Chain A
Amino acid sequence: MAAAHTTRPMAHNGHRRDAFGGEGEPLGAASQQEPGFAERLLQAVAGRVRGRVPVADLDERDPDYIRESLPRLWLLASLWFRGEVRGLGNIPDEGPVLLVGNHSGGNVSPDTGVFILAFSTYFGVERRFHQLAHNLVLSMPFLGVLRKYGTVAASPENADLALRSGAALLVYPGGDYEVHRPSWERNRVNFAGRHGFVRLALEHDVPIVPVVAIGGQETALFVSRGEGLAKLLGLDRLLRLKVLPISLAAPWGLNVGDMLGHIPLPAKITIEVLPAIHLREQFGPQPPVDEVYDHVLETMQETLDALASERRLPILG
Chain B
Amino acid sequence: MRVAAQIDVAAPPELVWAFVTDPTRMLHFMAGVTRWEVVSARDRGLGARYRTLMRVGSAEVGGLVETVEYDEPWDMAWTSVTGIDQRGRWRLRANGPNRTRVELRLSYSVPGSGIAGWITEHVAAPTVRGNLRRSLLELRRQVEHERARARAAARRRAAHAS
Question: Given A75-B120, A124-B82, A68 and B60 touching (CB < 8 A)?
Answer: no
In whole Å, how far is B38's beta carbon from the nearest beta carbon of chain A? 14
Cβ-based interface call for B83 (8 A): yes
> Which of B80-105 touch A at CB < 8 Å?
82-84
User: What number of residue pairs across chains A and B have CB atoms under 8 A from each other?
Assistant: 70
B60 pairs with A122, CB closer than 8 A: yes
- Cβ contacts under 8 Å, B62 to chain A: 121
Cβ-based interface call for A72 (8 A): yes
- Cβ contacts under 8 Å, B58 to chain A: 74, 77-78, 81-85, 114, 117-118, 269
A72 pairs with B57, CB closer than 8 A: no
B123 pairs with A75, CB closer than 8 A: yes
Interface residues on A, range: 20 to 34
B63 pairs with A77, CB closer than 8 A: no
Stretch at the interface among B20-28, B65-73, B110-118, B130-138: B110-118
A117 to B59, CA, bound (A): 7
Residue of A70, A82, A85, A114 near B110 (CB, 8 A) is A70
Cβ-based interface call for A79 (8 A): yes
Which secondary structure characterizes the binding site on chain B?
A: mixed
Cβ-based interface call for A90 (8 A): no
Question: Given A78-B123, A122-B53, A124-B82, A71 and B59 touching (CB < 8 A)?
Answer: no
Mask of A120-149 contacts with B, CB within 8 angstroms, 1/0: 011010100000000000000000000000
Mask of A62-74 contacts with B, CB within 8 angstroms, 1/0: 0000011111101
Cβ-based interface call for A97 (8 A): no
CB-nearest residue of chain B relative to A268?
B58
CB-nearest residue of chain A relative to B37?
A93
Cβ-based interface call for B154 (8 A): no
Mask of A145-163 contacts with B, CB within 8 angstroms, 1/0: 0000000000000000000
In whole Å, how far is B54's beta carbon from the nearest beta carbon of chain A? 10
Cβ-based interface call for A98 (8 A): no
Most chain B beta carbons < 10 A, residue from A83, A122, A269: A122
Cβ-based interface call for A179 (8 A): no
A–B complex contacts, Cβ < 8 Å, 21 sampled: A69-B112, A70-B110, A70-B111, A70-B112, A71-B117, A71-B120, A72-B120, A74-B57, A74-B58, A74-B124, A75-B119, A77-B59, A79-B57, A83-B57, A85-B59, A117-B59, A121-B53, A121-B61, A121-B84, A122-B59, A124-B63
Q: Which residues of B contact A (CB under 8 A)?
A: 53, 57-64, 82-84, 110-112, 116-117, 119-120, 123-124
